[in-house]
A and B are shown apart, each in its own frame.
Chain A
Amino acid sequence: MSKTIITVVGKDTVGIIAKICTYLAGNQVNVEDISQTIVQGYFNMMMIVDTSRSPKPYAGMVTELDELGDEIGVRIRCQREDIFTKMHRI
């Protein structure tokens, strides 16, 4: 199964990574890589995760992460990696 890319964009605040990682851990999602930058107070993070052991349906996770983003005040997107690799790699 392909990997999943989670992106988080929004105003920096305390505990963004903590809250997201807590959610992922609770759903058996393994975080394999994190890269992050802060530009002019805006938080920009990308995680590469493996959802293959998660019992949660993929669509459910996309929706719940979106809702978690609303709660924290950031935009969280959860997408299968293929959309990026197909577009940027030959």
Chain B
Amino acid sequence: MINILEVNETNKMIEQEKLDVRTITLGISLLDCCDADLDALNRNIYDKITRLAKDLVSTGREIELEYGIPIVNKRISVTPIALVVGRACRSPEDFVTVAETLDRAARDTGVNFIGGYSAIVSKGMTPTDEALIRSIPAALASTERVCSSVNIGSTKTGINMDAVKLMGAIVRETAEATKEKNSLGCAKLVVFCNAPDDNPFMAGAFHGISEADAVVNVGVSGPGVIKHALEGVRGANFEVLCETVKRTAFKVTRAGQLVAQEASERLGIPFGIVDLSLAPTPSVGDSVAGILEEMGLESAGAPGTTAALALLNDQVKKGGIMASSFVGGLSGAFIPVSEDQGMIDAVNRGALTLEKLEAMTCVCSVGLDMIAIPGDTPASTISGIIADEAAIGMINNKTTAVRLIPVIGKDVGDDVEFGGLLGHAPVQQVNGFGCADFINRGGRIPAPIHSFKN
């Protein structure tokens, strides 16, 4: 039988160490919504989302109340829209109406984000893919809750450099289109390599074509809990350190698995995966950088940071994998700068540069995430950064992503507020040497030799 010490430990994690379930994300296939008529398409999309997700928020609140664990976000991911619109969209304005439909469905079901205004163009772009990508700036400027992502490469296909070039320009255009809000549109736009089909975390969530009609995915959190556990083993060797992370990750993930199963049962929608990610928030004590510093680094970004992050990521997976029947999504540690107060502090004290962050992305779950860069950064430079991240993902057989925010009108040293969970970020220095001739070559980078496993 459970004892008072265990009960107190769990409640302390929740109340003092900010343990929460970061998101219940309902994945919905829109493939059966296709119609050649735009109005019918929009109607089908709205009806399906609002029908399946009508109880999502209330069910989340019910579980939260009954188990006493906060569920911070309830969200929806849908089939990449480029696969759904078919012949219904003929102009950029047509595409934007679909984004607006998603926005309306999100608002009416009470979720804060809906992901899937996306295209998968790892090897090539169809005319529809390209048209959707070109409509992203207008779509993100005219909606509030819609998130967009584009997958521009994979280990199996190589990197679509035409798409990389295009995305550099699209990120800039999105920044311009939302410049009144500190270029906030870019915080809702992710460029991926090896994007997973079942990621529950925004802004990169979409419901991939390998998925069922509807599925419940859950993303856990818990940097504060891991940090607190490590405070108890200061000075101990790496074996003890790793064991402590692993044990704590197990407990955090079990809470996520429980919530996922409950949500699935109550909604009558199959359970998909638990994403074992350590997702920070801007609030103090909920920081991945804080964990790295607790391990013995003077500041995140100091020599040793990549090793510390690698062991953290690996131990979180080892602890989490046994706690959940299905693990998926991104699963690892997130290092978004603006959403992690410890990372913000590290940048401000000059300890954490863009290049060090890039190195860190080789060993953690995502990529260059929520980083504000000067508003005058050229599109080709953004494409160069995207290509670098995609190369890391492609060669290492892992997901990488880029969510950069070139904040129009801001420069290095300025601080930019995005609000809420998106936090605030200092504008970081970008390497000023050009790469336009490289990006302008066009075409594809072939798949790496180790992808040929058949």
Contact = CB atoms under 8 A, between A and B. Distances in A.
Contacts of A33: 1
Contact of A88 (B2, B11, B66, B322): B2
A84 B4 contact: no
Given A33-B1, A86-B257, A62 B65 contact: yes
Contact of B67 (A46, A79, A90): A79
A79 B4 contact: no
A35 B3 contact: yes
Nearest to A46: B4
B255 A44 contact: no
B65 A7 contact: no
Interface in A42-81: 44, 46, 48, 58-59, 62-63, 77-81
Given A7-B7, A7-B8, A85 B2 contact: yes
Interface residues of B, number: 22
A34 B347 CA distance: 50
Interface string B1-20: 11110111111000000000
A37 interface: yes
A5 B62 contact: no
Interface residues of A, number: 26
A46 B8 CA distance: 9
Contacts of A81: 2
A14 interface: no
B258 interface: yes
Contacts of A58: 65-66
A87 interface: yes
A87 B66 contact: no
Given A58-B66, A62-B65, A88-B251, A83 B4 contact: no
Given A7-B11, A77-B11, A83 B6 contact: no
Contact of B10 (A35, A44, A62, A84): A84
A35 B65 CA distance: 23
Given A46-B4, A83-B258, A59 B10 contact: no
Nearest to A36: B4
B68 A87 contact: no
A65 to B, nearest CB: 11
A77 B1 CA distance: 19
Interface in B255-270: 255, 257-258
Given A83-B255, A86-B258, A87-B251, A48 B1 contact: yes
B254 interface: yes
A58 B64 CA distance: 12
Interface in B1-42: 1-4, 6-11
B363 to A, nearest CB: 28
Contacts of B4: 35, 37, 44, 46
Interface in A1-37: 5, 7, 33, 35, 37
B84 to A, nearest CB: 37
A80 B11 contact: no
Nearest to A83: B67
Given A77-B11, A85-B2, A59 B65 contact: yes
Q: Which of A33, A58, A77, A88 has the most CB of B within 10 A?
A: A88
Contacts of B66: 58-59, 62, 79-80
Contacts of A44: 4, 8
Contacts of A78: 68
A58 B4 CA distance: 22
Given A83-B10, A83-B69, A88-B251, A5 B2 contact: yes
A87 B67 contact: no
A87 B1 contact: no
Q: Which of A59, A63, A83 has the most CB of B within 10 A?
A: A83
B6 A88 contact: yes
7 contacts: A7-B8, A62-B66, A63-B65, A81-B2, A83-B67, A84-B2, A87-B6
Interface of B: 1-4, 6-11, 62, 65-69, 251, 254-255, 257-258, 322
Given A35-B3, A77-B68, A88-B9, 4 more contacts: A7-B7, A33-B1, A62-B65, A87-B6
**Nearest 7 Cβ contacts at the A-B interface:** A79-B68, A83-B67, A46-B4, A88-B6, A86-B254, A84-B2, A87-B251
